[in-house]
Structure 1
Amino acid sequence: MKDPVFFLWQNNQRWKTGFFIFTVLMLFVFFAWAETVETNRPAANSTYRAVPPHKSLAASPQFVLIDDFNLPEWKNKRGGIWHLRNATAKVVKVGRTKEDARNPKFGSSLQLLFDLPKSKEMSFTSSLQKLDASQADLLVFSCKFYPDRKKPFSGSLRVVLEDWRAKRAVVDVTASCAGEKIWNEITLRKDDFRDLDWDQLNSISFVLVSGAQPARGGMQFDEIAFYGPNDVFFESNLDNLKGFPKTIFAEARRLQLLKIKEDKALMREIAKDTWKYFEAAQNKQNGMIVDHVRLGDAPLASNYTSPTNIAMDLMGLVAAEKMRLISSEEAVRRTREKLKVVENLRRWKNLYYNFYETTKLSVTRGFISSVDNGWLGVALVVVRQAFDQELYREATKILNRMDFSEFLDYDNNQLSLGFDSEKNELIQTHYGMLVSEARATSLLGIGKGDLTEDHWWSLYRTPPTSWSWQSQKPKGKQIDNGHVYYFQGYYQYGSMKIVPSWGGSLFEFLMPTLILDEKEKAQESFGTNNYRAVQAHKDYALIKQGYPVWGLSPAATTNGRTWKYGEYGVKDVGVKGYPDQAVVTPHVSFLALNAAPQDAIANVRKMLEFKMYGEYGFYDSIQVKTNKMNTQYLALDQGMSFLALANYLEGDILQKLFHQDPIGKAALELWKKERFFEE
């Protein structure tokens, strides 16, 4: 029989030995797991630490994310396409691997496997779409670089930034990225990229150079972003502007306006506030008005403009001078400066591209819009009449070289939406409806002699009755005017006959009245039609839908941290009919001052009861069911509001200036033949 004491001692020793072995094994497993986790976890001093690993860097305003490679498409977050340039490489495999630099459970990264002959290079490049990163401090990204260990690597891995001048700055990251097991977080200071203009960056590239020996191996990249201490994208664009609102809501001013009883006094005060956009939201170097600014939790300051925005600005200077908000001398000086900029903008056949970046004035897209060029042409007519002694020659020079027949589709005698210079083709979609914002462009082209009068009669009053997809079957009759055989059709809204627009938005009906005196000179067509459109909108919103205010039209609305431009209307007065999402925009109430002034003013007064007023006047839209508003200003909508107010307050001054020009007089002759509702 064994000694019981010895037996207990012996079993205790075995237990201790087993426990020791178990502990060692568990520690081994733990450290192995920890190493794996650390591979995907930012260091304690990581730039990425401000954003939780399960969230995108785009969630933080401190980052301007270029790419995290989590989506299947080869397009970065700024819209640029990634291109591989590797003509000399034997083998290059590019793909996404399910190994994210920040989140081990989700996401992916870019992986390139290479086999490069000696003294050669390959690059992976993407456009930054003229990004303004001037307020960024760092370029950050994560990387791994693992050349074949059997062959010594004598080359280099570089990151290259290129600015708008095609000037390149190169930083070697070979040693910083070396290693296959762990992600290396690279932080490159702005000073590392010497002599670059960070106001406009064109591209980013990762370049591999093989050196004296062939290079074979792999590399990975992830979480490429520009980083700064504040809202980088906003601050980078903001520093280009002349000014920006200091507060989101101008509550004291709104309450002050509510107390004003006299209509014209109220409209004049709102006009003063609305004009502030054009004083402040312009590039401080060249004076170009920017497309929009936005306030609130996700502020924005855009860095591009369009011919229509420029037109609003030019006519705004005329209106501001007539309203005595600026002196005649200042109006002429500022208009001359802007015309010089317009004169030097890059053009296609002397017609202007749809968007220009406002810092360096480069073209952002190779599309040329017919209606945008039309509004610029209209503004030039107004300018040369308003400042005929000082600027007639400059405005006429630009106007005369614009040829609107370039937009004409000779198959149907209608204007195309525009020309795609990259594809070298006219867009096969047209401004086919007579009741649209494009009718001002048509009249301008006819007045200049670029288009014939037959073009006017080739526009649809309504589509033919055989087009069954339209919102209602039109009534009317065929007309033969001796040149063109057309259908003089109309829709029905209640007891009212109305010639519809495409979408049923008030903007389509009323924007041309900024410069066209349709109320007095086209009473039997547009004058009556515009009034009825306002009444239809008023009835639809207030009576049928029970909204507190009316005015459905394209507007900017909130979309998370950003925004979207939506099209809204009353379907019953639109051929296709834009949707109604209870989004009301103030600018159409000001446009309606011409057609139905008392209705418009009553609506403006009602809108003042909502907290949607800022330093530059009314914000762009409000969802009247939820009271959710977009605290944003658009140059187009601010321009339409201000010009409409100027006409109301100063005796339709812009209409008079346009019609005293030979181009504007041509419209009067056409209108004499137009009868919308003649039985």
Structure 2
Amino acid sequence: MRVRLIAVLTGAALALMPAAASADAGGGRRDDGSNGQSPAASMPPWAQFDRSDRAHVRQWAADTWASMDAMTVPETGLPADNIDGDLSTESRSGYTSPTNIGSYLWSSIVARDLGLISRSEAHERMSVTLGTLAGMEHHEPSGMYFNWYDEATGDLIDEFDSGEQIKHFVSTVDNGWLAAAFMVVRNAEPRLRAEAQALLDQMDFSYFYNPDARGGDLPGWNRGGFWVADPGEDQCSAPANYGDPAGDDLYYTCHHYDVLNSETRIAVYVAIAQGQIPPEAYFSLYRTMPTGCDWAWQEQEPVGETSTHLGIDVYQGTYGYEEMRFVPTWGGAMFEELMPDLFVPEARWGEDSWAVNHPAAVETQIRHGQDAYGYWGFSPSSNPLGGYQAYGVDLAGMQSDGYVSDVEGTDADIGYGDCREAANPNPEYGTGVMTPHAAFLAMYYAPNDALENLDAMAEDLGAYGPGGFYDAVTSDGTVAERYLSLDQGMVMGAIGNVLGHDALHRYFARGEVREVLQPLLEREDFGAVGPGGH
């Protein structure tokens, strides 16, 4: 059993932490299977922690920051994609991505705001990173960055250490996270506003947006990204150039991002806020797939009605889990649901949509995990048995053979009305695979449950190391002893919002961003039903 870590903080550091409403604000650990209302309608998460809890979470942030620091090359300000559990710099992965770089930038801000590093150190770190980015090779017409760079030099990588050749790809969602980081930096560090704004201004998300994806007068969808050269017959691609129809062909992924509740909506938010795609594109995305036997491949038969927003008919479908109803993600993973919410205050702006949906999604993960394994938190992560895998709560995602929550790959199937018989309605789950970053993302909506779950993973399963929580752990204690900069960035961002009074929300959602996005989210009622039938 690991002893619970208790931070010994100086008076100055404690002064940075929000004051507790009371020693037992928000109640104790629950055991009745219910969950409170969302932060938009009740006590904010920071008021539900007492002083000891806040010190405890701050220590987790300090250790998590140690892993981010170890992953980052001081000369370039670029973090490696991952590092071994002992934080040896020799074990840095040798490659990084736009998402990783963005994660480091917003983590630096959180570390500064929590008093883990000084303002001058944060400024210097981010200045180096932005300077490196300004000189890195990228797709100049769109201003977008490629997927893989050497974190030690900032050079584009042509080949992985394994010998695998890299076909240079420009990812929609990866550039979305990097742009979100620039939008945070410009407001969080005024001395770097010009540098961050210049990098943001060069990025044109219209290059990803296919206005004719749905045909007719309907707004379009984003593609997954593009290659600048033909990737060959082994990779499905569609030649076009949405950003500059008169320019050279780009080779787009054959798939589009057509689902709202996915991590990919960050690129939609950024593009709408920047005025590069129409606001109607938000309502073009599926809440669920339509109902009917033609769509019986999806996980559940949705229930809902059609509403009209900005002239777009939207099927407001929902899935069910016990008494709750919610707009599902694609795979049932926590980061799909909540990573965009690190930046866009979805629950505050969408009181009839996200403010109900997010708590329902969190509660679904809690109940599934507690019932099946005694722990919860399912999201793509390292596989403790080797490699990387997408994990989630199968019944909470649209993909019918989608993300699973255990080593055995147990697939639940409750059927689809009269169109598909239930193949496995009462599954027997095996050995669960939990990732701590999922519990941190949930902390905003279930603070005490997240704290209890994380303590249990650290103490019972040995999931804690010198750089904070390791990337994943099985319910029988097999640990993926490494750290990923993306996942550690989610941890830091979540703590920044919980302990820092919505820090990333406040930095991201200002001015035109709020003026453009808030009215979109305010319009819609998902028809969701939260925990306890609320």
Q: Same fold (TM over 0.5)?
A: yes
Aligned counterpart, 1:597: 447
CA contact (8 A) 2:173 2:264 kept: yes
Q: Secondary structure at the match of 1:523?
A: coil
Aligned counterpart, 1:462: 288
1:405 and 2:405 matched = no
**Worse overlay, 565-574 or 606-615:** 606-615
CA offset digits 1:144-170 (Å, max 9, x no partner): xxxxxxxxxxxxxxxxxxxxxxxxxxx
**Worse overlay, 373-382 or 286-295:** 286-295
1:267 and 2:95 matched = no
Aligned counterpart, 2:473: 622
Give unpaired runs (5+ residues) of structure 2: 9-49, 158-165, 215-219, 231-249, 407-431, 530-534
How far apart are residue 661 of structure 1 and its match? 3.7
Aligned counterpart, 1:549: 375
Q: Secondary structure at the match of 1:415?
A: strand
Q: Secondary structure at the match of 2:492?
A: helix
Q: Secondary structure at the match of 1:457?
A: helix
1:305 aligned to 83, 92, 96, which one? Answer: 96
Aligned counterpart, 2:424: none
Aligned counterpart, 2:152: 359
How far apart are residue 303 of structure 1 and its match? 0.6
CA contact (8 A) 1:585 1:620 kept: yes
State the identity %. 35
1:418 aligned to 217, 225, 228, which one? Answer: 225
Q: Secondary structure at the match of 2:280?
A: helix
CA contact (8 A) 1:527 1:595 kept: no
Q: From the CA coordinates, give the structure whose radius of gyration is larger.
A: 1
1:565 aligned to 388, 402, 405, which one? Answer: 388
Of Structure 1 and Structure 2, the greater strand share is in 1
1:641 and 2:466 matched = no
How far apart are residue 294 of structure 1 and its match? 1.8
Distance 1:293 1:334 in 2: 19
Aligned counterpart, 1:109: none
Aligned counterpart, 1:479: 307
Written as runs of structure 1 = structure 2, the 5 A alignment for 1:526-541 is 526-541=354-369
CA contact (8 A) 2:357 2:528 kept: no
Q: Secondary structure at the match of 1:352?
A: coil
The residue type paired with residue 320 of structure 1 is A
Distance 2:75 2:128 in 1: 11
The residue type paired with residue 108 of structure 2 is L
Written as runs of structure 1 = structure 2, the 5 A alignment for 1:322-361 is 322-348=113-139, 349=141, 350-361=143-154
Give unpaired runs (5+ residues) of structure 1: 1-250
1:392 and 2:204 matched = no
How far apart are residue 313 of structure 1 and its match? 0.7
Distance 2:170 2:510 in 1: 29
Aligned counterpart, 1:437: 263
How far apart are residue 549 of structure 1 and its match? 0.8
Distance 1:664 1:265 in 2: 32
The residue type paired with residue 472 of structure 2 is S
Aligned counterpart, 1:21: none
CA offset digits 1:122-175 (Å, max 9, x no partner): xxxxxxxxxxxxxxxxxxxxxxxxxxxxxxxxxxxxxxxxxxxxxxxxxxxxxx
Distance 2:3 2:508 in 1: 37
Aligned counterpart, 1:382: 184
RMSD: 2.1
Aligned counterpart, 2:272: 446
Aligned counterpart, 2:110: 319
State the TM-score, normalized to the length of structure 2: 0.76
How far apart are residue 520 of structure 1 and its match? 2.2
Distance 2:260 2:5 in 1: 38
State the TM-score, normalized to the length of structure 1: 0.60
Distance 2:57 2:327 in 1: 30
CA contact (8 A) 2:102 2:181 kept: yes
**How many residues matched?**
420
Distance 2:269 2:74 in 1: 35
Distance 1:333 1:301 in 2: 22
CA contact (8 A) 1:385 1:661 kept: no
How far apart are residue 295 of structure 1 and its match? 3.7
4+ residue runs over 3 A deviation: 258-261
The change in CA–CA distance for 1:678 and 1:606 in structure 2 (over 3 A counts) is closer
1:663 and 2:513 matched = yes
How far apart are residue 256 of structure 1 and its match? 4.8
Aligned counterpart, 1:580: 405
The residue type paired with residue 209 of structure 2 is L
**Worse overlay, 659-668 or 606-615:** 659-668
Aligned counterpart, 1:280: 70
Q: Secondary structure at the match of 2:314?
A: strand
Q: Secondary structure at the match of 2:105?
A: helix
